[in-house]
Amino acid sequence: MEKIKKLLMTRDGRSFYIRSMSKDVHTQFGYIKAADIKKADVGDELVTNKGKKMFLLDAGFIDVYGKIKRGAQIVPRKDIGLILAETGVNKKSRVVDAGGGSGALTLMLANSVKEVVTYEIREDFYKIVDENVKFLGFKNVTLKNDDIYKGVAEKNVDLMTLDLPEPWLVIEHAAKALVPGGYLVSYSPSVPQMMDFVNEVLRNDNFLHVKSCEVMEREWEVHERKVRPKTQMIGHSGFLSFCRLIKR
Ligand code: SAH
């Protein structure tokens, strides 16, 4: 994948990536000539052959992130936002993430914390995460093509994020890997997984359960006096369970 540096954005937030500075950019609103893009500065307005205004912007992390290759179902941003906000991880934090999947959560963590170690059992998904980490250019991610159910080698970890079919199989390993007070967060699409995970956590004297919840984001359309919720939304993604290690 070529690294994206610039993009064109309409006033209502639709973005079009410039994959090559020597090619015209075609959109459903018409095209903009490569020569016009080359001459333009960031912030400049460009107009397509059909008269649609576009603005030239530098592509930031989130713009490039939106273009990652997808394999497994990713954790949506609304849920990642809560993980970051509830655990308060920062540039000093060490995180273990499993399974890697498409690397969506791994990459967002890499953008916010000191280092991330990601376990992914499937080689095909491991390769996708690896490609996506290189695409974004992160140097603070260690990828392991391993089964996390077998154990976690890392120590003094501040946060462990689990997006796995059987997250309860990692609780004992997390007790050895986390620092006291550290967070174990599990993301599961269905109720039985959340239930079995939390009940297993509560049977373990080393952990406490902070809360389990889901995040609902409802986007609104705001145009003149037409102000209303959009018809479609992400109805359901997953449940989040936040737990903390009390002692080792
Ligand atoms: N959180 C990821 C998506 C993970 S999907 C993202 O945001 O992109 C779940 C992943 O867990 C799958 O890729 C699956 O192969 C992996 N997985 C399942 N069991 C595992 C195990 N025991 N150890 C490591 N990875 C595992």
Q: What is the pLDDT along the chain (248 residues), one digit of tens a residue?
A: 455 589 999 998 899 988 888 899 999 999 999 999 999 999 999 999 999 999 999 999 999 999 899 999 999 999 999 999 999 999 999 999 999 999 999 999 999 999 999 999 999 999 999 999 999 999 999 999 999 999 999 999 999 999 999 999 999 999 999 999 999 999 999 999 999 999 999 999 999 999 999 999 999 999 999 999 999 989 999 999 999 999 98
**Nearest-angstrom CA–CA distance, 27 and 108:** 28
114 Cβ closer than 6 Å to some ligand 1 atom: no
Query: Residue 26: in which H helix or E strand, if any?
Result: strand 25-27
Contact at 8 Å (CB) between 206 and 151?
Answer: no
Which is the closest atom of ligand 1 to the Cα of 148?
Answer: 23
Q: Which amino acid is at 99?
A: G
The preferred substitution site among 128, 164, 240 for testing ligand 1, maximizing ligand atoms within 8 Å of CB, is 164
In the chain, which residue ranges form alpha helices assigned H by DSSP?
A: 34-39, 61-65, 77-87, 104-110, 123-136, 171-177, 191-202
Report how many helices (DSSP H) and strands (DSSP E) the chain contains, helices first.
7, 15
128 Cβ closer than 6 Å to some ligand 1 atom: no
119 Cβ closer than 6 Å to some ligand 1 atom: yes
**Nearest-angstrom CA–CA distance, 82 and 76:** 10
Q: Calculate how far, in angstroms, residue 99's C-alpha sits from the geometric centre of ligand 1.
A: 3
102 Cβ closer than 6 Å to some ligand 1 atom: yes
